[in-house]
Structure 1
Amino acid sequence: MPDLPLLGAAMTVADLESLQDFCVPGALDQDWAPIAERARALLAGYQGRLGIHGPFWGLHIASADAEIRKVVARRMMQGLEVCDYLGATQMVIHSPYITWDYHNLDNFAGRVAYQNVIEHSHQTLEAVVKRAEEVGVTLVIENIMDKDPDIRATLAESFASSSVALSVDTGHAHYAFGSTGAPPVDYFVRRAGAALQHIHLQDADGYADRHWSIGEGTISWHAVFRALAELDSNPRLILELRDKDGILPSVAWLEARGLAC
């Protein structure tokens, strides 16, 4: 990566005027086309890479309940419909792994607990992955409570599809590091390796999911960008901040340190 990485941002359509609308609870229960049309109009002339955050609230992709899996699959399919409509080529979905898993998956004979998570995820996403392949969308699995930085890679690889890859959320990784004993953020980046195609950039304190502007928290950004420089996968670097007014100051903070632009 001889040039500075180029930053993007995660925003709702309303924020575009001062695209995460489709992950808001209830958004897919109504006609989402007007929101998508507004987004298309605001993005007219935009030539860069575009993605959305898929639905996630209450939607566990590895539920043991078959009826829940049907609901989750339907929501994911709706997310892909939005991607197809907008011309988006990535959709963020959430990891099924929680801190409990790290301490308990080996609490059963063999690797049956590991396999259960993978099998349930496939039962939920089999048709979704096929549809993603058809419409040219990559599903990027984002770490949420993952303490093990490698376990999502095993899940992604199990689909044997170019439409399933990894995302790293820096604030989630820093929370896991500070509160559950996970490796630091740059380890999550480095160990994702070539499968890493998306990153949510947010700063945090290691205690909670802060979504602060870059420089406000305690993440070692130099270490993160050194790890990024080792990769050839060219992941999309998306500023996902709670306060969207912090987007440009975050860009300036990273640019001033020669990390991104």
Structure 2
Amino acid sequence: MDVRFGASVEEFLAYLTDLGLDHVELKREYLEGHPDAPTPDDLGELADRYDVSITYHAPFRDWNMGSFNDDVRRASVDQVKASLDDAVTAGAGAVVVHGGSVPHRYPEWVREKAAENARQSLLECAEYAREVGVALCLENQPRSGDKRRYTTTPDDLADALAAVPVDGEHLGVTLDVGHAKVNGYDWREFVDRFGDRIRVCHLHDNDGTADQHDPLTEYREILETVPAAYFVFEMKAADDVARSVGADVPPLDAELAVDG
């Protein structure tokens, strides 16, 4: 569920289960922005009622675990820890996290501090994930022309994980196949490299020029090959989920208008 979705969580759960799907990932931006967002307790009850599994996506729009501003770094870590706490309450299986970034244009000493802050932040969050018993899953990000991101390549992702001495059960991987594609990598390279450490898989498509998050219809091989516990159609619009699975159903907004 993206902050751009107008539906409530329950409306979206009814929609996706009608499509034959059984998992929902909630971005914290959605939960902060929607006026009817459920509490973690309520979310757990909704998941039981609709018989779906849950993952959380830790906030990233206004937060940066690799910020060279130490106050921002610590506040970002607190946001991830809060997501882990909510995941425990809701019965979620994992929390997806981004590894931080720093602008390319900044001087080397700033970029060095930002990289160390990103490592320290991931360590603190992974240790907390181990403490509360929910997997924290580091996502491969798309490249940025403005910012250095630390997990855009298989080598970089491996280095980020190796720098944090927390077991794979509690510090896993989110494989984003669209991000891999726009960066010029086949998603299979990440499977070969990280294998069973992949707990979450984000599904979306692009034309190779930008991170467009288009519907992905050719996903069967991914489901059969990626050893993830959770697969997520990460779309900009709820109706693109239906387009991905080839379902001939009314758009979600139209359904809401009829129901209203």
Task: Name the amino acid aligned to 1:88.
Answer: A
Task: Name the amino acid aligned to 2:199.
Answer: Q
1:180 is matched with: none
- Residue 89 (1) aligns with residue 96 (2): no
User: What SS class does the counterpart of residue 129 from structure 1 fall into?
Assistant: helix
Task: Name the amino acid aligned to 1:251.
Answer: V
User: What SS class does the counterpart of residue 62 from structure 1 fall into?
Assistant: coil
Which of 224, 241, 255 is the aligned partner of 1:247?
241
Equivalent residue runs for 1:1-261 within 5 Å: 13=9, 14-18=11-15, 21-24=26-29, 27=32, 34-45=38-49, 49-96=53-100, 100=104, 116=113, 119-146=116-143, 147-162=152-167, 163-177=170-184, 183-215=185-217, 225=222, 229=225, 233-252=227-246
User: Which of structures 1 and 2 has the larger relative contact order (alpha carbons within 8 angstroms, sep 6+)?
Assistant: 1
User: What SS class does the counterpart of residue 24 from structure 1 fall into?
Assistant: helix
- Residue deviations 1:20-65 (CA, integer Å, cap 9, x gap): 555217819x997x44344223212566643111111132212222
Task: Name the amino acid aligned to 2:236.
Answer: R
Alignment check: 8 A CA contact 1:69 1:123 kept: no
TM-score (norm 1): 0.69
User: What SS class does the counterpart of residue 139 from structure 1 fall into?
Assistant: strand
- Residue deviations 1:186-224 (CA, integer Å, cap 9, x gap): 323333333322210011111222222113xxxx757x6
2:147 is matched with: none
Distance 1:62 1:198, change over 3 A: same
Alignment check: 8 A CA contact 1:22 1:79 kept: no
Alpha-carbon distance between aligned partners in 1 of 2:117 and 2:215, rounded to the nearest angstrom: 36
* RMSD value, Cα: 3.7
Alpha-carbon distance between aligned partners in 1 of 2:198 and 2:177, rounded to the nearest angstrom: 13
Task: Name the amino acid aligned to 1:121.
Answer: A
Alpha-carbon distance between aligned partners in 1 of 2:55 and 2:47, rounded to the nearest angstrom: 12
User: What SS class does the counterpart of residue 216 from structure 2 fall into?
Assistant: coil
User: What SS class does the counterpart of residue 195 from structure 2 fall into?
Assistant: helix
Task: Name the amino acid aligned to 1:164.
Answer: L
Alpha-carbon distance between aligned partners in 2 of 1:35 and 1:150, rounded to the nearest angstrom: 38
Task: Name the amino acid aligned to 1:213.
Answer: P
- Residue deviations 1:217-259 (CA, integer Å, cap 9, x gap): xxx757x639x63x6x444222212232232442359xxxxxx
TM-score (norm 2): 0.69
Alpha-carbon distance between aligned partners in 2 of 1:89 and 1:225, rounded to the nearest angstrom: 20
User: What SS class does the counterpart of residue 154 from structure 2 fall into?
Assistant: coil
Alignment check: 8 A CA contact 1:212 1:243 kept: no
Distance 1:117 1:187, change over 3 A: farther
Distance 1:40 1:200, change over 3 A: same
Higher deviation after alignment, 62-71 or 187-196: 187-196
Distance 1:68 1:114, change over 3 A: closer
Task: Name the amino acid aligned to 1:51.
Answer: T
Distance 1:76 1:135, change over 3 A: same
Alpha-carbon distance between aligned partners in 1 of 2:130 and 2:175, rounded to the nearest angstrom: 22
Distance 1:20 1:195, change over 3 A: closer
Higher deviation after alignment, 124-133 or 204-213: 124-133
- Residue deviations 1:131-153 (CA, integer Å, cap 9, x gap): 21122111111122354222112
Aligned length: 223
Alignment check: 8 A CA contact 1:170 1:202 kept: yes
